[in-house]
Amino acid sequence: MKRLANERKYVEDMIKSKTLNVNRPGKDINSLIKYLYEQNPKITKQELIELVNKFLLEIVQDEKAVKRWQVSIREYVDTFMSYANNFKGLSHVEKISITRSELERIKELKNERLEYVAFALLVYLKVQNEITGRHDNVHCPSGEEHVKMIKKITGLRTTVTKTALAMKELQNLGYTENGIGGAVSCKLNYVDNEDEVVIEVRDFDVESIGVYYYWYIHGGRLIYCQECGKLVLSQSKTYPEKYCKKCAKESAQEDRKI
């Protein structure tokens, strides 16, 4: 979701930290190629390849490893350059707004799983609208990959199948309906962009988005962990948390060692 909402910042952070997702390096390399092209639309294929290689070498410090990636890198560059003339730039969504009436409609579900799925659908829709420049209530979860994304955005311990069933239940309750394209498109019936803004989602990490809805329901203060930077909810009035649960536990263990 972070890449979808703000791919430009994602790449800038990747370059600054000199990191690469080793589990899915292809996606990061493709994002890097688009970023390099955006910086210099007159760049050639060979120049793109050389810059990608330079970045990878800085990360892995292994020329042989970089050489083993050459076939894939050339394929990535060739594929991108084949549609580069139609490239409209990396996504750059800084925030999306959720209104009171939208949140109240979601809360009326009185079912945690359905509420978080409805909130995730709304966030996903508004991010897509910001990227495309549209501001309507048509959301297109075209297939399992998008349902997987909705599952991640909810922050719930659930499955893709249960998420899909929840989306179907929302349709049965009238919160969504099939739109153009039948099963691959649905229309959200609880969108109200004109009402008072209650939440501004600025952190598009999939682990953070559900925290916004939890904050709306339970109150408290949204803060960032001083150790890992993760968005967390502080509900203590006397001793506001400084860390997420994981970092707080690790910090306590270090204190005991001392």
From 188, 205, 230, give the residue that closes a domain: 188
Residue 205 lies inside a defined structural domain of this protein: no
**Whether 139 and 162 share a structural domain:** yes
**Whether 15 and 54 share a structural domain:** yes
DSSP helix/strand/coil, 201: strand
Residue 117 lies inside a defined structural domain of this protein: yes
As for how many domains the chain has, the answer is 3
Residue 122 lies inside a defined structural domain of this protein: yes
Residue 30 confidence (pLDDT): 96
- Main-chain phi, psi angles of 201, to 5 degrees: -80, 120
Read off the pLDDT of residues 210-235 as tens digits, 9 standing for 90 and up.
999 999 999 988 988 888 888 988 87
DSSP helix/strand/coil, 231: strand
Residues with Cβ within 8 Å of 78's Cβ and at least 6 positions away in sequence, in order, are 45
DSSP helix/strand/coil, 177: strand
**Whether 136 and 71 share a structural domain:** no
Residue 178 lies inside a defined structural domain of this protein: yes
Name 232's bridge partners: 223
Residues, the chain = 258
**Whether 109 and 156 share a structural domain:** yes
For residue 250, give both structure tokens.
């690790």
**Whether 118 and 173 share a structural domain:** yes
From 139, 170, 188, give the residue that closes a domain: 188
- Written as one letter, the residue type at 19 is T
- What CA–CA distances, in Å, run from 76 to 52, 80, 82, 142, 189? 11, 6, 10, 24, 39
Read off the pLDDT of residues 156-202 as tens digits, 9 standing for 90 and up.
999 999 998 999 899 999 999 875 544 456 789 999 999 999 999 99
Residue 247 confidence (pLDDT): 85
From 166, 188, 210, give the residue that closes a domain: 188
**Whether 166 and 132 share a structural domain:** yes
Q: How much is the average pLDDT of 236-245?
A: 72
| Helices (runs of H) and strands (runs of E) counted in the chain | 12, 7
**Whether 155 and 120 share a structural domain:** yes
Residue 80 confidence (pLDDT): 97
Read off the pLDDT of residues 54-72 as tens digits, 9 standing for 90 and up.
999 999 888 998 999 999 9
For residue 67, give both structure tokens.
């050489």
**Whether 173 and 235 share a structural domain:** no
Range of the domain at 245: 220-258
% of the chain with per-residue pLDDT over 90: 63
**Whether 140 and 162 share a structural domain:** yes
Residue 7 lies inside a defined structural domain of this protein: yes
